[in-house]
Amino acid sequence: MKAISMLKIKLFADGADKAQILQAQANPLIQGFTTNPTLMRAAGVKDYETFAHEVLAVVTDKPISFEVFADDFPEMKQQGAQNHRMGEPCLEPSLDFIRRLLYSVLKVNVTAILTLEQVPGAAESLGLLWASPRELLNISQANDVGCHIITAPTAC
């Protein structure tokens, strides 16, 4: 297996513990961050927006994706717009909705693909992210299949 620094894929730290994010920020192999409401709840985050502002104040030179938590498209777009004003949004909508958002000013990061049929459309529209690897070999596998980003828990 190649050294991580030799791979094309970008390694993003996934988590919501501020201390771990600060520690990962100093690691040159970590090229960005992802988080979501489930991770925030597990880390004891009570105020999503305050947490996002605090993290964005510290992590200023790497991208961060904050997931929206709405279930309907109008609310997703509103939350995505709010995240855009703070930094980097992460949206989990349908492929048609994704394509519409790509023509707006919002950045889109899709981390939940539920069917094999969604993969080609997402790859064509956005590029690929491998979330939650289970072993180190997954990093090399994700690189070899052309993923752009792999997310790994900050606790690793």
Which is nearest to 91 in space by CA: 121, 69, 113?
69
Region of poorest pLDDT, from 4-13, 59-68, 112-121: 112-121
Beta-strand runs (E) in 16-120: 30-35, 64-67, 89-90
Structural domain range at position 24: 4-153
110 — pLDDT class (breaks 50, 70, 90)? low
Give the pLDDT of residue 132: 80
Looking at residue 30, what is its pLDDT? 92
- What is the C-alpha separation between 78 and 64, in angstroms, rounded? 18
Contact 68, 60 (CB under 8 A): no
What pLDDT is attached to residue 108? 67
Q: What is the pLDDT of residue 33?
A: 92
Residue 88, pLDDT score: 55
CATH of the domain at 124: 3.20.20.70
Number of domains in the chain: 1
- pLDDT of 136 > 70? The answer is yes
Give the integer Cα–Cα distance in Å for 20 and 8: 24
This prediction's pTM: 0.75
Q: pLDDT tens digits, residue range 38-96?
A: 888 999 999 888 898 898 888 988 988 887 777 777 777 777 777 666 655 554 456 66
d(Cα 153, Cα 139) in Å, to the nearest integer? 13
